[in-house]
A and B are shown apart, each in its own frame.
Chain A
């Protein structure tokens, strides 16, 4: 360690690793056999439920259009079989010339949680756990340190000495969750949305640990959603019902936003606190906010460069 030059430390060890697979192997080699079995038990559960066709499926980015059509037909059939729901799974791709950005006006957000519920329904989350990609933190006034927030508040809102901070995936421009994925099951797309190929994810949960915003969720069990409550309007990289043993996250509702629509959480917000748009469009509302309001980002010091802004007015 007696080097004269200060050695440039990698921010995350896996980034600098020549092959990501070597990193996984190395990681598991350090575990004892029993620990290994315990560590991969959700994977084994997931593997048991994997069909042969799923086993043979390639990474999303490597699928030809014909293969994608096959995969999607299979997934639609699975949804009909497992959930009794007629669903349409589209393959929405980024719109050229768009980069999506979200902003929340913390002066008007009152913590009522309608966005949390809208996300739950829109994205076919597990009903038993009330899962959602959004958490609203009740914050003491005078800090933007989200770790000081609490999600357990109830009753009448807003409370006088608090403000409310909704947190979901910040679609970081330097996403640590993507860097740590040993199998490239998660990546950032051209419009800025960080997506997960649920059929490629091995459920190691590295990304969940790497995300400083607690934005990722692990499917400990297969989501339970009654057939009549399934949102049939789905997309492969978005709100199709996720299998057990994989990680999921907010996709800025790409099955809506890539078709020009507003995200479900924004439409549900009764206070109008949420603003969404294309930062590349100089006329967009999001640009006006960035140019005219003092905006904050969460955990700025980490260098994750969120595409998610907060402001007061």
Chain B
């Protein structure tokens, strides 16, 4: 079915215009002749990549997990380190492991806030229910966390800890319905990387932080909502 625009164009141009067009087309098809004469199948780098994707998925037996790429859940690097406030005589700063102090201090199992501490962790905000520090931190080994049943869990496995209380979120996460991700939806064509809980939620104040809107398209839906025709200045845009 011919297109309307060319019809209008051709109609308006008349015979002379049509002749010019034919000439133009001939010269353009000459320019394209190398491609046209070599009857090479349609294959660019990109499309062969696509073909590979299709082959990969159709070659797989139904339900086979062996040929699938992995979903990687990002993990924290390890136990946090505390940056020291002062510097040494050479002006260097330093950081220490939690256990540097906590292995020689008596844990206060009832403490819930930084306000009751006499040193360190002073400025920290706590807004995570009414739980105590040692609900999650391990009083016996400060470089690990502790599950509700008393067993230690590595900082890298923080999601195991969070999931004890946040079951619905953990279930949704396991089904790809909670938490940001990158990579492939189709694991037969490539891997996927997912955020862990503390990529988005500060465990001490886990509410998702407020953000500021940046990018805005400029289209008619972003005009001021009220568009009063009565008494409006004449305008010819509609």
Interface residues in chain A, defined as those with a beta carbon under 8 Å from any beta carbon in chain B: 20-21, 24, 40, 43-44, 46-47, 50-53, 55-56, 59, 65-66, 68-70, 72-74, 88-93, 95-97, 103, 105, 108, 110-114, 116-117, 120, 129-132, 135, 150-158, 182-185, 200, 202-204, 214, 217, 233, 235, 245, 257-262, 266-267, 269-272, 275-278, 284-285, 288-289, 292-293, 313
Contact = CB atoms under 8 A, between A and B. Distances in A.
Interface stretch (B34-42, B123-131, B157-165): B34-42
A73 B8 contact: no
B21 interface: yes
Given A183-B4, A277-B176, 10 more contacts: A65-B41, A68-B42, A69-B42, A97-B57, A110-B210, A184-B1, A260-B186, A262-B185, A288-B175, A313-B168
Interface stretch (B98-106, B110-118, B217-225): B217-225
B58 to A, nearest CB: 7
A156 B1 CA distance: 51
Interface string B202-218: 00000010111111111
Contacts of A52: 21, 24-25, 28
8 contacts: A50-B5, A112-B211, A130-B215, A183-B4, A261-B186, A262-B182, A262-B183, A271-B208
Contacts of A289: 175, 177
Contacts of B58: 96
A269 B49 CA distance: 27
Contacts of B57: 95, 97
Contact of A260 (B44, B53, B225): B53
Interface stretch (B86-94, B132-140, B142-150, B187-195): B187-195
Interface residues of B, number: 65
B165 to A, nearest CB: 16
Contacts of B46: 88-90, 92, 233, 235
A275 B29 CA distance: 46
Contact of B42 (A91, A182, A217): A91
Nearest to A116: B215
B200 interface: yes
B6 interface: yes
A21 B168 CA distance: 54
A114 B224 CA distance: 22
A176 B200 CA distance: 39
B181 A272 contact: yes
Contacts of A267: 180-182
B213 A260 contact: no
A95 B50 CA distance: 9
Contacts of A51: 24, 28
A90 B168 CA distance: 41
A88 B45 contact: yes
Nearest to B22: A52
Contacts of B200: 270-272
Nearest to B169: A313
Contacts of B195: 272
